[in-house]
């Protein structure tokens, strides 16, 4: 059990590419920290540096208080779960899980005891004699977990361990890994590009973009107070709507509509007044937009919108809309560009909503839930 | 009418594959099966080929070669030659493949070595035989180097002394044959996922443990396939030995192929030669069946 502390970690690859730029991160003992970001942002690089599979260009790394920068992976007391699982196809499940003990020359009886114990925890007992090729995706995933658990390491490192599973199994394994981590209480750093995984699994989430750490916070704080437009857009699904508008007095004006801001908005953000008469970026999450013809949406001020398409998901309707405002790009390269010319906003409506594609509606907007960002720096105001 | 048409079409579809196969079947039949059957027939005849109406000999010729100490010596030499060749082809091929695959060696040097190591493959058996005859001549390069280094005191007649001849031809054959192993194993090495080694690094595996627990098991299918093939091929080697030593001195390098050749074309005892050829055929056949069984099991 140990805390993992990264100080000013940088990574420059052989081709002079800066994959990680001054990364500072401290993971507490027993904490489940998620490292999330779009693909290519350097998550794997960061994790592999912690594991010792990649050299650290500069900075300091301590695991359990010990400086491990110059230590080979095996001495760092960590275990890693690979995206591919890296199970040895010629070994049985038993041999795979017991591999590190075998390398360490532990007697067979001791190995058997420990592997049986782990197999029981992971419900793999009946599969111990099978080869990985004969296992399902979820079972392989569990074997990979078992191999990491066997040595009782100070920290688990996991690199997108669920990305090879189908959607249903992923949800199930998400819960399994989370409860297993709580049960074992081992410090865990978990890499994913999937913000849903990040939000549902981690004690804290670190958001990375282009090798630069953006924000480290609890899922709730990330959702409620993103530090910049990127985090705002990256966390939450569908993404937060971001638009440009002009702040005039207490009104946010864009095109033909105005949104009246309450005093509280200015009290909570002392800097906002200084944008008076200037452009500002405002954000609103799809779940804070309402169908004003429904009871739930009646109390909010409205802006005119045109419905372009609707995805009925049963529990909710994802409604694509067009409003009279200029959309702002959050800077997430993975964001699906589903905004054709027709639509520039997304809302989540209750399934009782009867809006139809093509109709002009009044869109309810919960102004308390608005986010504001600087139009140049994209930093939160 | 339509039904007739349809059944005609069906027949055509059924026959077509055999039509495509027929040329190759014909060639295999004419050039391989026919001679094979003929040789088997010869081995049971008295004075085969030499006489118009050879009489049936039963197992007489087999008896004769089994009673011939030279046959047993040849069999032993063949086994020694083959086993040593396969084992060293594998060992050298593996070492070179591991070297070429290691990223601790400078990439430019690796490319140079790759070309260098593969050179023996470019030569035909005849050229290899000539090269080694020159190198291993009493006044050749090898002797002079070994003497300079003080390893040997006097010039050794590698190919013409009974003590060294068999080792010398085996050595030449090892030199000639390892590149196939090296290339196959290198391809296999490059196919092993990097993750396997990284996971092992984290688990604390030493270099030799990675070799034993990951590399070799991962290469096993290749190792077994090419070893069996090499065994089958090397068993039948003829030109290299024929040109370097001709089976001599005094049968010291006689192998089954040279033994058979001499029976046929020096002694004109084609019946016994056929019997000896059938023995080679049976051994090869056994190995081939083993190989096919292994291939099918995978
Ligand atoms: N060995 C390498 N050499 C050069 N560039 C690399 C290497 N490995 C990764 N990169 C680059 O570093 C960036 C981050 O990679 P990675 O950490 O794998 O991203 P992620 O895991 O977040 O998708 C990518 O742009 C990738 O192309
Ligand atoms: Mg990655």
CA-closest residue to ligand 1 atom 21? A44
- For residue B27, the Cα-to-chain-centroid distance in whole angstroms is 24
pLDDT 10s digits, A188-221? 999 999 999 999 999 999 999 999 999 999 999 9
Residue A361 has pLDDT above 70, yes or no: yes
Q: Which of B159, B163, B136, B155 is nearest to B247 (CA)?
A: B159
Q: Which band of pLDDT confidence, cut at 50, 70 and 90, is reported for residue A44? A: very high
pLDDT 10s digits, A274-293? 998 899 999 999 999 999 99
Domains and CATH numbers, chain A: 4-228 (3.40.50.300), 241-373 (2.40.50.140)
Mutate which of A14, A19, A207 to test ligand 1's pocket (most atoms within 8 Å of Cβ)? A19
Cα A148 from Cα A156, distance rounded (Å) = 7
Give the pLDDT of residue B298.
Answer: 67
Give the pLDDT of residue A336.
Answer: 58
Residues in chain B with pLDDT < 70?
A: 1-3, 48, 298
pLDDT 10s digits, A212-253? 999 999 999 999 999 999 999 999 888 999 999 999 888 999
Instruction: Tell me the two tokens of residue B267.
Output: 């002694």
When the candidates are 3.40.50.720, 3.30.310.50, 3.40.50.300, 1.10.3720.10, the CATH number that belongs to B62-192+218-297 is: 1.10.3720.10
Percent of chain A with pLDDT over 90: 72
Cα B14 from Cα B6, distance rounded (Å) = 12
How many CB contacts within 8 angstroms connect chain A with chain B?
57
Cα A223 from Cα A240, distance rounded (Å) = 10
What mean pLDDT value characterizes chain A?
Answer: 91
Mutate which of A40, A49, A157 to test ligand 1's pocket (most atoms within 8 Å of Cβ)? A40
Give the pLDDT of residue B2.
Answer: 63
CA-closest residue to ligand 1 atom 14? A42
Domain boundaries, chain B: 62-192+218-297
A84:B213 CB<8 A: no
Q: Which of B224, B217, B155 is nearest to B192 (CA)?
A: B217
pLDDT (mean) for A140-167? 91
Residue A266 has pLDDT above 60, yes or no: yes
Provide the ipTM: 0.86
Q: Which helix (H) or strand (E) holds A239?
A: none
Cα A140 from Cα B213, distance rounded (Å) = 19
Q: Which of A240, A372, A366, A364 is nearest to A303 (CA)?
A: A364
Q: Which band of pLDDT confidence, cut at 50, 70 and 90, is reported for residue A30? A: very high
Neighbour tally for A24: CB within 10 Å: 13
Give the pLDDT of residue B28.
Answer: 87
pLDDT 10s digits, A315-342? 999 999 999 888 888 888 766 555 556 7
Cα A92 from Cα A79, distance rounded (Å) = 20
Give the pLDDT of residue B12.
Answer: 85
For the entire predicted model, the pTM comes to 0.84
Cα B216 from Cα A128, distance rounded (Å) = 23
Give the pLDDT of residue A339.
Answer: 56
What is the three-class DSSP state of B249?
coil
Instruction: Tell me the two tokens of residue A312.
Output: 């009925």
């Amino acid at each position: 059990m140990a805390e993992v502390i990264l100080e000013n970690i940088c990574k420059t690859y052989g081709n002079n590419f800066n994959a990680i730029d001054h990364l500072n991160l401290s993971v507490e003992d027993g904490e489940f920290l998620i490292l999330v970001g779009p693909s290519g942002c350097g998550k794997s690089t960061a994790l592999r540096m912690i594991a010792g599979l990649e050299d650290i260009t500069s900075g300091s790394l301590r695991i359990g208080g010990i400086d491990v920068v110059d230590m080979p992976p095996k001495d760092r007391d960590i275990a890693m779960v690979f995206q591919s699982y890296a199970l040895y196809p010629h070994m049985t499940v038993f041999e795979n899980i017991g591999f590190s003990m075998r390398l360490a020359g532990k007697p067979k009886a001791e190995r058997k005891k420990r592997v049986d114990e782990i197999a029981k925890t992971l419900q793999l007992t009946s599969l111990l004699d099978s080869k990985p090729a004969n296992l399902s995706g979820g079972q392989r995933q569990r074997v990979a977990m078992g191999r990491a658990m066997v040595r009782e390491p100070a920290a688990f490192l996991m690199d997108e361990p669920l990305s090879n599973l189908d959607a249903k199994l992923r949800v199930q394994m998400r819960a399994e890994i989370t409860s297993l981590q709580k049960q074992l209480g081992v410090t865990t750093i978990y890499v994913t590009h999937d913000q849903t995984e990040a939000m549902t699994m981690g004690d804290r989430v670190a958001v990375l973009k282009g090798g630069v750490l953006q924000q480290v916070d609890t899922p709730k704080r990330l959702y409620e107070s993103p530090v910049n437009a990127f985090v705002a857009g990256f966390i939450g699904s569908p993404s937060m709507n971001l638009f440009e508008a002009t702040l005039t007095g207490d009104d946010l004006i864009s095109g033909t509509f105005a949104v009246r801001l309450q005093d509280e908005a200015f009290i909570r953000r002392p800097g906002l007044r200084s944008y008076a008469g200037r452009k500002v970026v405002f954000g609103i999450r799809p779940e804070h937009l309402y169908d004003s013809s429904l009871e739930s949406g009646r109390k909010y001020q409205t802006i005119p919108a045109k419905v372009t398409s609707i995805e009925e998901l049963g529990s909710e309707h994802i409604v694509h809309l067009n409003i009279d405002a200029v959309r702002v790009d959050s800077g997430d390269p993975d964001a699906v560009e589903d905004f054709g010319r027709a639509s520039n906003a997304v809302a989540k409506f209750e399934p009782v909503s009867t809006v139809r594609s093509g109709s002009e509606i009044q869109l309810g907007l919960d102004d308390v839930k608005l986010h504001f960002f600087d139009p140049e720096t994209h930093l939160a105001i | 009418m339509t039904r007739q048409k349809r059944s005609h079409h069906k027949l055509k579809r059924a026959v077509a594959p055999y039509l495509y196969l027929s040329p190759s079947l014909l060639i295999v039949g004419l050039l391989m099966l026919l001679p094979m059957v003929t040789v088997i027939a010869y081995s049971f005849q008295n004075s085969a080929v030499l006489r118009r109406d050879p009489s049936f000999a039963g197992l007489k010729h087999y008896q004769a070669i089994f009673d011939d100490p030279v046959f047993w010596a040849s069999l032993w030499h063949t086994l020694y030659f083959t086993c040593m060749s396969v084992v060293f082809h594998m060992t050298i091929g593996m070492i070179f493949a591991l070297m070429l695959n290691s990223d601790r060696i400078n990439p430019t040097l690796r490319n140079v070595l790759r070309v260098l190591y593969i050179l023996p493959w470019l030569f035909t058996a005849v050229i290899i035989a000539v090269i080694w005859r020159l190198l291993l001549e009493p006044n050749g390069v090898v002797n002079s180097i070994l003497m300079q280094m003080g390893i040997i005191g006097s010039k050794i007649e590698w190919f013409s002394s009974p003590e060294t001849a068999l080792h010398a031809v085996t050595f030449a054959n090892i030199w000639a044959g390892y590149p196939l192993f090296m290339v196959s194993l290198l391809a296999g090495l490059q196919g092993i996922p990097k993750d396997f080694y990284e996971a092992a690094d984290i688990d604390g595996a030493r270099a030799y443990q990675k070799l034993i627990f990951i590399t070799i098991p991962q290469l096993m299918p290749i190792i077994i396939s090419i070893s069996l093939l090499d065994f089958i091929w090397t068993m039948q080697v003829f030109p290299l030995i024929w040109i370097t030593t001709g089976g001599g001195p005094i049968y010291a390098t006689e192998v089954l192929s040279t033994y058979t050749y001499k029976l046929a074309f020096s002694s004109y005892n084609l019946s016994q030669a056929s019997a000896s050829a059938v023995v080679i055929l049976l051994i090869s056949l056994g190995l081939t069946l083993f190989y096919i069984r292994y291939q099918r099991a995978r």
